[in-house]
Amino acid sequence: MEHKNRTLSLSIVSGKGGVGKTNLSLNIAYALFNAAQNTLIVDCDLGLANLDVMLDISPDKTLNEILDDDALAHDIIYKLENSGLGLIPAASGVSDLLDLDEDQQMQIIQRLESLLQKYHFLILDVGAGISRTVRTFSQMTHKRVVVITPEPTSLTDGYALIKVLYTRQKVKDFYILVNMVESEKEARRGFERIRAACSKFLNLEVNYLGHVRNDPIVLDAVRKQRPVMQFAPRSTASRDIMQVADTLIQMRAEARQYIADTPPLQMGEPVT
Ligand SMILES: Nc1ncnc2c1ncn2[C@@H]1O[C@H](COP(=O)(O)OP(=O)(O)OP(=O)(O)O)[C@@H](O)[C@H]1O
Ligand SMILES: [Mg+2]
């Protein structure tokens, strides 16, 4: 039969901005790579604190080039550490991608897919909020990681995002990652509030992915433009991130059959 997929795709989303999506995307990818899992991160965000800035790199090709017939698809991947950790930087105007017709969106999906053979994980760093860009990308992946913090606004915005994605784009498989907490207990409390709301008002069960504690060293790493996993591998934040990566590895193992039968990226419902 046709080739079987082995890449688990995740989009990293949040209702409220600034909750740590880009940091977590990068560092989870780094932790996965340390655990011998090849990971490709695609920057799908137009925000200011982009992945290339966080790493002090200036790649010359972006997601836009993937539509370019002449571009060798593999050339658009920026290899971090010369390794199985790859990055595709944000397109200069991701909103351009939304003006594309369905055939062209399909083309992007197929070209990305053709790059994935050696990757265990694909991570889309999607922007905050519920814009069309966000909904287009976050419905493409197998699963969605919703980053929240214990702040009430982050919880309500996180719930609002899940509601829109579930009711309008018909996607499920939400995994809540609680960032910037003082303790696991605080994370579980935050998760419980969003879980209860989804269960009661949407009749939807969401899952707990993990937590990352508030750690000032994350800011030091950002200032040094290095992943905290590399800058301070034994810090509190790095240890929590390692645990999240371990959970994802287990999730991929448990979903092996589903992943084999499901393309890593799909069009989904029309985004209006
Ligand atoms: N666990 C943590 N402990 C301390 N600071 C953190 C932690 N996680 C993230 N931060 C800080 O939060 C800030 C925002 O992080 P980041 O840019 O990753 O958020 P974002 O969700 O991608 O934002 P945007 O919505 O603008 O894309 C960064 O300055 C980062 O240093
Ligand atoms: Mg970001």
For residue 72, the tally of other CB atoms under 10 A from its CB is 9
Provide CATH code, domain 8-260: 3.40.50.300
Enter the pTM of the model: 0.95
Q: pLDDT tens, 118-152?
A: 999 999 999 899 988 889 899 999 999 999 999 99
The pLDDT tens digits for 27-83 are 999 999 999 999 999 998 866 658 888 888 888 788 877 777 666 777 889 988 767
**CB neighbours of 90 closer than 8 A, spacing ≥ 6?**
43, 44, 45, 46, 50, 51, 52, 62, 63
Question: What's the pLDDT score for residue 49?
Answer: 58
Q: Is 129 in the pocket of ligand 1 (CB under 6 A)?
A: no
Distance 2 CA to ligand 2 centre (A): 36
Pocket test for ligand 1, best of 23, 124, 226 (most atoms within 8 A of CB): 23
Does residue 219 have its Cβ closer than 6 Å to ligand 1? yes
Q: Is 232 helix (H, G, I), strand (E, B) or coil?
A: coil
Q: Which of 69, 152, 139 is nearest to 104 (CA)?
A: 69
Domain ranges of the chain: 8-260
Q: State the burial class of residue 1 (Cβ atoms within 10 Å of its Cβ: 0-12, 13-18, 19+).
A: exposed
Task: Kindly list the protein residues that place their beta carbon closer than 5 angstroms to ligand 2, a single-atom ion.
Answer: 21-22, 47
Whether 25 has a pLDDT exceeding 90, the answer reads yes
At 103, is the pLDDT very low, low, confident or very high (cuts 50, 70, 90)?
A: confident
pLDDT of residue 121: 98
17 Cβ closer than 6 Å to some ligand 1 atom:
yes
Question: Is ligand 1 within 6 A of the CB of residue 22?
Answer: yes
10 Å CB burial of residue 36 (0-12, 13-18, 19+) is: exposed
Average pLDDT over residues 74-101: 77
